[in-house]
């Protein structure tokens, strides 16, 4: 058979094939320490602007000195180390472009000398555009194109000063001209902010609605000057649907003094904003830690708390109650928590007094009972049929004429028997109208509820309460446990035993306290030693519990 002829290399075809590749191909020629362009494909030309007209030219003939140095050092390393080197993508090069992933491979002649370097670079422009789009979806406000609340909370970790802007009477614009007109005003506000504060030291955020935040990342003592600039942005009227609208702004300012996080600064700015509005609007107020803002905070909490249920901001956390003699979990106390928006976790000590003063404790209290019933169905499956949920009842609730009937109606609707629930009252709850409280507690106890007297030992007449109130249980105040007052604890246990009352020790935080209460035959133990308050789905299971 005749030997087939060796195929001839078709350089034009090879050139064409390399041009069809989507990745950038650069072939560099090496002469000693000199490196020059030998070949670039079409993709490389599109990416870098280098054409075949540059063949024979060095980096220094084609690029700026910084870019030339950058490229030369990359290629010289391949020559020096004599191996293939991979460079990761994502670096901003001296020419301002973002580098793609590059693989530089040395090509040797028959003597082993490196004569060329073959480079493949993957263009990541499309991928970066996609990543940028996703980033914008996550961190950019759709309407204004400013950053959003999520960006503020995740990326603005240590601001120097924040300015919280709220447009005065903005609701009137929406009500009179419609939401499209309101949106146009908000977009124009964003444009004005960008025009004056678009430089890198400032972050511009739309929190939502008509609230904006300007964050100054640099220490600045000229807060008055910046606030005046912000107010000045609203001097010019807004043109909406051929209507000239005058819009003013109120500003709350908070300055980072020590290590305040962004959530705390936002709260301070919010308080300052309400002070500015209360002073007649069209002005700013700087939060001062030495000033008293109690009435402002209470007013803010009242407004927000009134919408907390419909916004699903309220939560119940649970702290287990353990019976050491039976070695079992017998119940849990439901503790109310308020996640105010995405920013603040309000402590009960901050909002419960406001709820009681305003009467909001009544609808909140019924919400707690209903939610506790729903959670009970999950908890009883884990801890057994004798498991009880303890719910705190306020004086305002207990004095309601229809309280007993409404509570029983909630339990019927949720499929929970009164015997599965314990109602906790404090001595202060009973002092104002003892006769009515006695009557309501007696009805509740008769229906099957367990009645517990909470914080026992802290009032002036707790001993008399034991004989006047229809109660089943005492909860020893945590202060006696932390102080380790053994004679007093022993006396309470002996007295409760004589009155046929069970006792729960609250605030048990250490192993020593736990074993002490167990040895003193205290019926129930509750505290951080068992668990910190947490949502029911995070509580330890029976298999995980080991309190001894």
Both tokens of residue 361? 């404790």
CA dist 27 and 19 (Å) reads: 13
C-alpha of 462 from chain center = 42
The per-residue pLDDT for 75 is 94
- Taking only the tens place, the pLDDT of each residue in 68-103 is 998 999 999 999 999 999 987 766 777 777 777 889
- Taking only the tens place, the pLDDT of each residue in 147-193 is 888 888 887 877 889 999 999 888 888 888 888 888 999 999 999 99
Both tokens of residue 204? 């511009």
CA dist 328 and 450 (Å) reads: 19
Using alpha carbons only, what angle is made at residue 446 by residues 444 and 449, rounded to the nearest 5 degrees? 50
Taken in order of first residue, the domains within the chain and their CATH numbers are 11-124 (3.30.450.20), 140-291 (3.30.70.270), 307-538 (3.20.20.450)
The reported pTM is 0.53
- Taking only the tens place, the pLDDT of each residue in 351-409 is 787 777 777 888 889 999 999 999 999 999 999 989 999 999 988 888 888 899 999 99
Alpha-carbon torsion 374, 375, 378, 382, what sign? negative
In this structure, what are the phi and psi dihedrals at residue 169, rounded to the nearest 5 degrees?
55, 35
Going residue by residue through the chain (548 aa), what tens digit of pLDDT does each one get?
Answer: 566 656 666 778 888 888 888 888 999 999 989 999 999 999 889 888 899 999 999 999 999 998 899 899 999 999 999 999 998 776 677 777 777 788 999 999 999 999 999 999 887 666 666 665 666 667 888 888 898 888 888 878 778 899 999 998 888 888 888 888 889 999 999 999 998 888 778 889 998 889 999 999 888 778 888 999 999 999 998 887 777 888 999 999 998 888 788 888 888 888 888 888 776 777 888 888 765 555 555 555 665 677 777 778 889 999 999 999 999 999 999 999 988 665 557 778 777 877 777 778 888 899 999 999 999 999 999 999 899 999 999 888 888 888 999 999 999 999 999 999 999 988 776 666 677 888 889 999 999 999 999 888 665 545 666 777 889 999 988 888 888 878 888 988 999 999 899 999 999 999 999 999 999 999 999 999 999 999 999 998 888 877 66
How would you class 53 by CB atoms within 10 Å of its CB: exposed for 0-12, middle for 13-18, buried for 19 or more? exposed
Arithmetic mean of pLDDT over the chain: 85
The per-residue pLDDT for 258 is 82
Comparing CA positions, the residue from 214, 193, 191 lying closest to residue 202 is: 214
Using alpha carbons only, what angle is made at residue 255 by residues 254 and 257, rounded to the nearest 5 degrees? 135
Both tokens of residue 10? 């078709």
Q: Which residues contact 478 (CB under 8 A, 6 or more apart)?
A: 506, 507, 527
């Amino acid at each position: 058979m005749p030997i087939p002829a060796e195929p001839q290399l078709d350089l034009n075809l090879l050139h064409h094939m390399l041009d069809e590749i989507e990745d950038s191909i650069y072939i560099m020629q090496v002469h000693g320490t000199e490196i020059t362009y030998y070949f670039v494909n079409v993709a490389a030309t599109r990416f870098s602007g280098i054409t075949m007209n540059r063949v024979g030219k060095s980096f220094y003939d084609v690029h700026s000195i910084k870019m030339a140095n950058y490229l030369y050092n990359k290629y010289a390393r391949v020559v020096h180390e004599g191996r293939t080197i991979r460079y990761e993508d994502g670096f901003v090069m001296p020419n301002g472009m973002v580098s793609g992933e590059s693989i530089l491979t040395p090509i040797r002649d028959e003597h082993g000398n490196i004569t060329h370097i073959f480079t493949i670079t993957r263009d990541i422009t499309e991928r970066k555009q996609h990543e940028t789009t996703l980033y914008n979806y996550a961190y950019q406000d759709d309407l204004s194109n400013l950053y959003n609340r999520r960006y503020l909370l995740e990326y603005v970790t240590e601001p120097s000063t924040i300015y919280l802007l709220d447009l005065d009477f903005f609701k009137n614009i929406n009500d009179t001209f419609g939401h499209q007109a309101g949106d146009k005003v908000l977009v124009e506000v964003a444009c004005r902010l960008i025009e004056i504060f678009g430089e890198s030291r400032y972050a511009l955020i739309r929190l939502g609605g008509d609230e904006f935040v300007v964050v100054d990342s640099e220490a600045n003592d000229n807060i008055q000057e910046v606030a005046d600039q912000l107010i000045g942005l609203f001097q010019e009227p807004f043109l909406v649907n051929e209507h000239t609208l005058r819009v003013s702004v109120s500003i709350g300012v908070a300055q980072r003094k020590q290590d305040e996080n962004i959530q705390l600064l936002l709260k301070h700015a919010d308080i300052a904003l309400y002070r500015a509005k209360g002073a007649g609007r069209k002005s700013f107020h700087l939060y001062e830690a030495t000033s008293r803002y109690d009435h402002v905070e209470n007013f803010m909490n009242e407004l927000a708390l009134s919408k907390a249920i419909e916004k699903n901001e309220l939560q119940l956390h649970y702290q287990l109650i353990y019976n050491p003699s039976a070695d079992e979990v017998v119940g849990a106390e439901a503790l109310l928590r308020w996640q105010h928006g995405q920013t603040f976790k309000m402590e009960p000590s901050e909002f419960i007094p406001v709820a009681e003063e305003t009467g909001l404790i009544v609808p909140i209290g019924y919400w707690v009972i209903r939610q506790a019933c729903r959670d009970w169905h999950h908890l009883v499956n884990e801890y057994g049929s004798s498991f009880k949920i303890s719910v705190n009842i306020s004086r305002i609730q207990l004095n309601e004429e229809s309280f007993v009937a409404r509570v029983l109606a909630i339990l019927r609707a949720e499929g929970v028997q009164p015997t599965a629930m314990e109602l906790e009252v404090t001595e202060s709850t009973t002092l104002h109208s003892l006769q009515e409280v006695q009557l309501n507690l007696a009805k509740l106890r008769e229906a099957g509820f367990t009645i517990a007297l909470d914080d026992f030992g802290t009032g002036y007449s707790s001993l008399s309460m034991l004989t006047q109130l229809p109660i089943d249980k005492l909860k020893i105040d945590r202060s006696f446990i932390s102080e380790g007052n053994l004679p007093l604890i022993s006396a309470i246990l002996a007295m409760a035993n004589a009155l046929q009352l069970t006792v729960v020790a609250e605030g048990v935080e250490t192993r020593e306290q736990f074993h002490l209460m167990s040895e003193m035959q205290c019926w129930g133990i509750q505290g951080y030693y068992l668990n910190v308050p947490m949502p029911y789905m995070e509580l330890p299971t029976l298999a995980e519990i080991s309190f001894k």
